[in-house]
Amino acid sequence: MSYLGNIGLSNKTDGLYLGLVNLSLNTSPNQILFSPSGYDISGLAVSDGLDISGSDLKTVGNPNIQLTAHSFFANENLVSIQSQIDLTNQADVVNISAGSYSEDVEINDKINIAVIGPAVGNTICEVDGLQIIGESRLIRVCNLQVQGASNTIAGRGRYHFKNVAWQGTSTTTNNISIENFDYLNYATFENCEFEYSVITVPVTFAGVIYFINCNFSGSTTLNFNQSSAVQVIINNCAGLISFPTTCTLIGMNVLATTGESRITATNLDSKYLLINGVSTYSSINQNLTTDGANGIKLTPTGGYNSYWNVFFDNGVQTVKSEDSTTPIILYERLNQFNIIPNLRMLFKCIFNFNITNANPDIIFKLVLIDGVTENEVQDFTQTFSKSGHHSFPINFNWIMNGNYSLSFKITAQVSAGDIETEVTDYYSVILDEVQATE
């Protein structure tokens, strides 16, 4: 006869009850011969609930639950969750069978333990409340429904909650107080649900809180009072009453009432992100993209380039030079805001125009505009052997300094005769933002 020790079981629907009783098994693989502590299990075959074919005793219904070291088990109306948590030490796991537990579960002064309910599905594991207090740290909680009116998440932090439903009602709010952690310790809520809940973070909070792929419903209220918005990070969450300003929103977050969504990253300083030490707050109409080993960068909506590739319109009129000393404006753009300063700018242009004389020189210039002040940045001279209509590429390359906005124009001046553009002339201007050479 082999002796397993300190294991009890009952023939419940989940095939599992484990408590502090002794169990002996005959070496015959099909029959349990010992009935511990008054439980009548005579004639119960191993195949009805347990499997001892390998080195570990485990449930047939859930082979992932093994009766190994560092494991404790709770069962509705038989073994309480609290009694098992109280027995745990570092690296222990409390496995909970499905059921409704009338317990306010308290994790006090525990280090590196896990409390795990059954996988989410038809089964559910309910508790009346959850308190994590004292010197607790490194706590993992999975697959629970917490229905208490008062819950405290304190201790020292480094907590992970996954598939936890914080369930209140329209008449009884589920209050969740996330209190002081050690400096820069954290709590992560992943795939969690909050219904009719109030989540409160005090002004003295020193850690970081992550809400990832969570759902806020039933008018759940977020009371964020911590000193910095980067201490609470909300990523890809739905059901928000409003977009809170006292946290950092990243990914896509969606309002419950209107379905409005935002892809944002803000903090209390009204900065979106910092790239090369510069805020991207004014960089509208830009996408955040990867730059490989160089990190991240902003590129204009629709692709890497800012480009304008249209026929002349009211912004650029049909023009003709009065004499060879007067340039014409081929293209002008005022207050373009999707520009990143301190990077090299590359203007790649193609213009259509008409000249009346053969063999003239045409000087193309890139001119920056600052109010009434104009500053020539670069020029380029080209000789044309024939008169008539031309389509010609022009490139300018320079370092953009200062603000995010850019006002500029590109001019052309002919050395002899006239140069003009017509209403049907086509132009293309592509503006690249490339890395600085330094």
- Between CA 412 and CA 406 the distance in angstroms is 20
Sign of CA dihedral 22, 26, 29, 31: negative
Average pLDDT, rounded, for the chain: 76
Task: Characterize 144-168 residue by residue with b for buried, 16 or more Cβ atoms within 10 angstroms of its Cβ, and e for exposed.
Answer: bbbbbeebbbbbbbbbbbbbbbbbb
Residue 162's pLDDT is 95
pLDDT beyond 50 at 6? no
Residue 187's pLDDT is 96
Nearest CA to 209 among 190, 236, 195?
190
CA 233, 234, 240 angle in degrees (round to 5)? 140
Secondary structure (3-state) at 138: strand
Chain segment 364-384, per-residue pLDDT in tens? 999 998 888 999 999 989 999
pTM over 0.85: no
Mean pLDDT throughout 104-120?
Answer: 92
Chain segment 166-215, per-residue pLDDT in tens? 999 989 999 999 998 988 799 999 999 999 999 999 999 999 999 999 99
Mean pLDDT throughout 333-341?
Answer: 73
Contact partners, residue 189, CB within 8 Å, separation at least 6: 161, 164, 209, 210, 211, 212, 214
Chain segment 380-394, per-residue pLDDT in tens? 899 998 999 888 888
- Between CA 105 and CA 141 the distance in angstroms is 11
Mean pLDDT throughout 273-289?
Answer: 59
- Between CA 226 and CA 438 the distance in angstroms is 40
Task: Characterize 2-37 residue by residue with b for buried, 16 or more Cβ atoms within 10 angstroms of its Cβ, and e for exposed.
Answer: eeeeebbbbebebbbbbbebebebeeeeeebeeeee
Secondary structure (3-state) at 403: coil
Set out the domains of the chain in order of their start, with CATH numbers.
Answer: 69-270 (2.160.20.10), 306-434 (2.60.120.660)
Contact partners, residue 323, CB within 8 Å, separation at least 6: 418
Residue 133's pLDDT is 96
Residue 438's pLDDT is 54
- Here the tokens at position 325 are 């000393």
Scan for tokens 């952690």, then name that residue.
Answer: 181
pLDDT beyond 70 at 4? no
DSSP 294-331: G-EEEEETTSSSEEE--B--TTS---B-SSTTS-EEEE
Nearest CA to 381 among 396, 359, 361?
361
Mean pLDDT throughout 328-336?
Answer: 83
Chain segment 57-71, per-residue pLDDT in tens? 545 445 555 555 688
CB atoms within 10 A of CB 295: 9
CB atoms within 10 A of CB 130: 24
Which DSSP category does 343 fall into? S
Scan for tokens 């009116």, then name that residue.
Answer: 149
pLDDT, greater one: 309 or 346: 346
Instruction: Give percent of the chain with pLDDT exceeding 90.
Output: 33
Nearest CA to 244 among 233, 236, 359?
233
Torsion over CA of 61, 64, 65 and 70, rounded to 10 degrees? Answer: 170
* CB of 189 closer than 8 Å to CB of 217: no
Torsion over CA of 414, 416, 417 and 419, rounded to 10 degrees? Answer: -10
Residue 14's pLDDT is 39
- Give the N- to C-terminal CA distance of the chain in Å, as an integer: 78
Residue type, 396: F
Q: For the chain, percent helix, then strand, then coil, each to nearest 5?
A: 5, 45, 50
* CB of 343 closer than 8 Å to CB of 297: no
- Between CA 162 and CA 234 the distance in angstroms is 15
- The highest-confidence range among 189-193, 321-325, 405-409, 424-428, by mean pLDDT, is 189-193
